[in-house]
Amino acid sequence: MKKRNIVLTGFMAAGKTSVSAIIARKLKMDVIATDDIISRREEMSISDIFAKQGEEYFRGLERELVREISSKEGCIFDCGGGIILDERNIYDLKSRGKVFYLKASPELIYERAKLDDKRPLLKVKDPMAKIRELLLLREPLYSKADHTILVDDKTFEQVADEIIRIIKNG
């Protein structure tokens, strides 16, 4: 029997990396972190890729990676926040996995992201306004996930357990 992938999507700082690590530990699965792979292959940070090559170049790398990894089975995909901007990525990720949208409020995202200088899209005068703007644009795409998990007021462990429950129930 083929093992389905668990795909975590959501805005930056929604908790995808922390939650994927907990699920991986509990279910003994490998994690594939798209931003980490791209950064390693390009030998520079995501911020540097955005600064030197531009967002369009980065999204192209992301698209290529999704095509490559979506044939894998039994993995957890910790996806970069904008991976859903190309709807082909959503389709490919859903083809062999269950896609979960970790939905966080703009306030929680800002609290988690404000001290992290590796967030290229938040290097603006008013980061909270930018978060709200990007969430508004991306929400219709994030909502194409198989399941939406509200993460505000939950620990990473609680979010991971909720996803595991959903996976085990079919």
Q: Are 125 and 35 in contact (CB under 8 A)?
A: no
- Among the residues of the chain, which ranges form H helices? 16-27, 34-42, 46-53, 55-69, 87-95, 106-113, 127-142, 156-168
How many angstroms separate the CA atoms of 17 and 124, rounded? 24
Report if residue 169 sits inside a domain: no
Written as one letter, the residue type at 98 is K
Report if residue 168 sits inside a domain: no
Per-residue pLDDT of the chain (170 residues; tens, 9 = 90+): 458 899 999 998 999 999 999 999 999 999 999 999 999 999 999 889 988 999 999 999 999 999 999 889 999 999 999 999 999 999 999 998 999 999 999 999 998 887 776 666 667 788 899 999 999 999 999 999 999 999 999 999 999 999 999 999 97
Report if residue 124 sits inside a domain: yes
Range of the domain at 33: 5-158
Average pLDDT, the chain: 92
Report if residue 135 sits inside a domain: yes
Q: Which helix (H) or strand (E) holds 147?
A: strand 147-150
The number of distinct structural domains making up the chain is: 1
In this predicted structure, what is the pLDDT of residue 156?
97
Q: Which helix (H) or strand (E) holds 54?
A: none
Take residue 4 and report the two structure tokens written for it. 């389905």
> Is residue 31 classed as helix, strand or coil in its secondary structure?
strand
> Is residue 148 classed as helix, strand or coil in its secondary structure?
strand
DSSP character at residue 116? -
Q: Which CATH number do you get for residue 99?
A: 3.40.50.300
pLDDT tens, 47-56? Answer: 899 889 999 9
